[in-house]
């Protein structure tokens, strides 16, 4: 059967959500056994961890002093650019816009850059986080979420994910391209960054990176910067705040721990091995920054995770479908092609029940069309920040104690399936919408 064909096997029948709920004590016992196994695997991998360097106090003091001196309008130096510099910046903007047309293109651009400049660790971290963003986008048109959320709820959630994804890329990718030129002595990076609308927060960090190649410092700074970039433009934007982030279904998703970022990596004896973390509160900027730092410490501090994740990224092109890493669970067919009117139980502990078809997880191009990305609202977040308080983010790069989460991923899928079964059998499912109803 072709991977893009519709799964024609009918799911097992005669299983109500009540019977599934009755088995939940058994499921919880299995979950805790799996969680203990994940703790043991995490402990084994932690023993191989590489230390993550952090800046000294004197280095932090120098950065804080530079940030304090640079709190000025972001475009104040544009009039002093030469014609050659303006042409260079125009080319960078064009290359960024070309790659910023969809999540798939952004994700590929991050990896291509990392393979050219592996000293910029953030690019690989951004590639993997962007993969997860794409999977979250296509989930909205996949097998399960359309049975729980209305078309309007899915549209609004996608718009928020796409806006955040695109704003981060639009801010960070020009920095990466400019660094690539600066490292070849073809331009003055610190002078030109403001011409790309980049916060003055980044200029002293990039200058230090050019001198010392301090990958951890640069990665932490980019995490801090990009989370501030989306804070006012997305997270606290009135539209996304009221329509998505404060909506009951989004808060429920967080409470049930569906906000996962996973890194597929190889592990002997398992068909699927995932390392990662769960983001508890997306609306809290401090938590998002610390979450990004822990992901970085995991991705680059654990050799097995680092090598396995990079091998996966280079071997499997990102499509947006969860079939990228779990083809035995997911197929690439679109949700709108389904034949059965009601959903039947299919999953158990990351396995399909006998006779059950795979879950539909379309590629991004099947789920959402490319749409123009509105320009970022102007402004430099550093002008309203307290540089001394920003220094706290650079003092530690903590490695998570537990991060092998294959078990948690399977349990989250089981909970989502139970929610679908309950909603449909209680008559609470939204009207059927298809991928073509956009």
Euclidean distance between CA atoms 145 and 240, whole angstroms: 19
Contact 224, 288 (CB under 8 A): no
Euclidean distance between CA atoms 228 and 355, whole angstroms: 48
The 10 Å Cβ neighbour count of residue 396 is 13
Arithmetic mean of pLDDT, 11-20 = 54
Task: Read off φ and ψ for residue 62, nearest 5 degrees.
Answer: -65, -40
Euclidean distance between CA atoms 319 and 313, whole angstroms: 12
pLDDT of the residue at 19: 63
pLDDT of the residue at 427: 75
What pLDDT band is residue 437 in, cutting at 50, 70 and 90?
very low
Residue that wins the pLDDT comparison between 345 and 262: 262
pLDDT of the residue at 190: 84
Task: Read off φ and ψ for residue 360, nearest 5 degrees.
Answer: -75, 130
| 78: pLDDT strictly greater than 80 | no
Task: Read off φ and ψ for residue 49, nearest 5 degrees.
Answer: -65, 140
| 86: pLDDT strictly greater than 50 | yes
pLDDT of the residue at 1: 41
Q: The whole model's pTM is what?
A: 0.91
What pLDDT band is residue 4 in, cutting at 50, 70 and 90?
very low
What pLDDT band is residue 107 in, cutting at 50, 70 and 90?
very high
Residue that wins the pLDDT comparison between 24 and 103: 103
Residue that wins the pLDDT comparison between 341 and 203: 203
pLDDT of the residue at 238: 95
Arithmetic mean of pLDDT, 409-421 = 90
| 391: pLDDT strictly greater than 80 | yes
Arithmetic mean of pLDDT, 405-419 = 90
Task: Express each pLDDT in 233-275 by its tens digit.
Answer: 999 999 999 999 988 878 777 666 678 999 999 755 457 899 9
Whole-number percent of the chain with pLDDT over 90: 69
pLDDT of the residue at 428: 75
Task: Express each pLDDT in 125-137 by its tens digit.
Answer: 999 999 999 999 9
107-111, 171-175, 191-195, 199-203: least confidently modelled range: 191-195
Within 13 Å, how many C-alpha atoms sit on residue 375's CB side?
6
**Torsion over CA: 284, 287, 288, 289 (sign):** positive
The 10 Å Cβ neighbour count of residue 358 is 22
| 41: pLDDT strictly greater than 80 | yes
| 287: pLDDT strictly greater than 80 | yes
pLDDT of the residue at 333: 85
pLDDT of the residue at 29: 63
Task: Express each pLDDT in 155-175 by its tens digit.
Answer: 999 999 999 999 999 999 999
Residue that wins the pLDDT comparison between 79 and 171: 171
Average pLDDT of the chain is: 88
Strand (E) or helix (H) holding 274: strand 274-278
- E-state strands within 279-372: 330-331, 347-348, 351-352, 359-360
């Amino acid at each position: 059967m072709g991977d893009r064909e519709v799964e024609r096997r009918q799911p097992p029948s005669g299983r109500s959500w009540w019977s599934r709920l009755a088995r939940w004590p058994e499921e919880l016992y299995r979950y805790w056994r799996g969680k203990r196994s994940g703790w043991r695997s995490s402990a084994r991998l932690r023993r191989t961890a590489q230390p993550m360097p952090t800046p000294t106090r004197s280095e932090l003091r120098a950065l804080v002093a530079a940030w304090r001196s640079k709190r000025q309008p972001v475009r104040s130096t544009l009039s002093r650019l030469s014609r050659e510099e303006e042409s260079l910046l125009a080319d960078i903007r064009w290359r960024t816009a070309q790659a910023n047309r969809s999540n798939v293109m952004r994700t590929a651009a991050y990896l291509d850059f990392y393979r050219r400049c592996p000293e910029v660790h953030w690019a690989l971290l951004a590639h993997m986080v962007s993969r997860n963003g794409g999977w979250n986008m296509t989930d909205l048109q996949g097998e399960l979420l359309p049975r729980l959320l209305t078309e309007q709820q899915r549209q609004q959630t996608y718009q928020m994910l796409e806006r955040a994804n695109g704003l981060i890329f639009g801010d960070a990718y020009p920095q990466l391209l400019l660094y690539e030129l600066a490292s070849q002595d073809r331009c003055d990076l610190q002078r030109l960054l403001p011409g790309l609308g980049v916060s003055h927060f980044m200029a002293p960090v990039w200058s230090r990176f050019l001198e010392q190649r301090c990958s951890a410092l640069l990665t932490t700074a980019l995490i801090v910067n990009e989370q501030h970039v989306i804070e006012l433009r997305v997270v606290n934007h009135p539209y996304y705040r009221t329509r998505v982030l404060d909506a009951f279904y989004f808060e429920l998703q967080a409470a049930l721990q569906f906000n996962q970022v996973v890194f597929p990596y190889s592990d002997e004896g398992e068909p699927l091995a995932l390392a990662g973390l769960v983001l508890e509160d997306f609306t809290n900027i401090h938590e998002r920054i610390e979450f990004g730092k822990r992901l970085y410490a995991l991705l680059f501090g654990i050799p097995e995770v680092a090598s396995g994740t990079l091998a996966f990224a280079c071997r499997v092109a990102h499509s947006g479908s969860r079939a990228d890493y779990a083809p035995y669970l997911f197929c690439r067919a679109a949700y709108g092609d389904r034949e059965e009117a009601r959903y039947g139980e299919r999953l158990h502990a990351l396995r399909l029940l006998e006779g059950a078809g795979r879950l539909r997880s379309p590629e991004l191009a099947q789920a959402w069309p490319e749409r123009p990305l509105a320009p970022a609202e102007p402004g430099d977040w550093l002008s309203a920040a307290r540089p001394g308080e920003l220094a706290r983010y650079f003092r530690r790069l903590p490695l998570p104690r537990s991060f092998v989460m294959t078990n948690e991923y399977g349990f989250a899928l089981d909970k989502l399936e139970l929610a679908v079964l309950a909603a449909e059998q209680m008559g609470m499912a939204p009207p059927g919408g298809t991928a073509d109803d956009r």
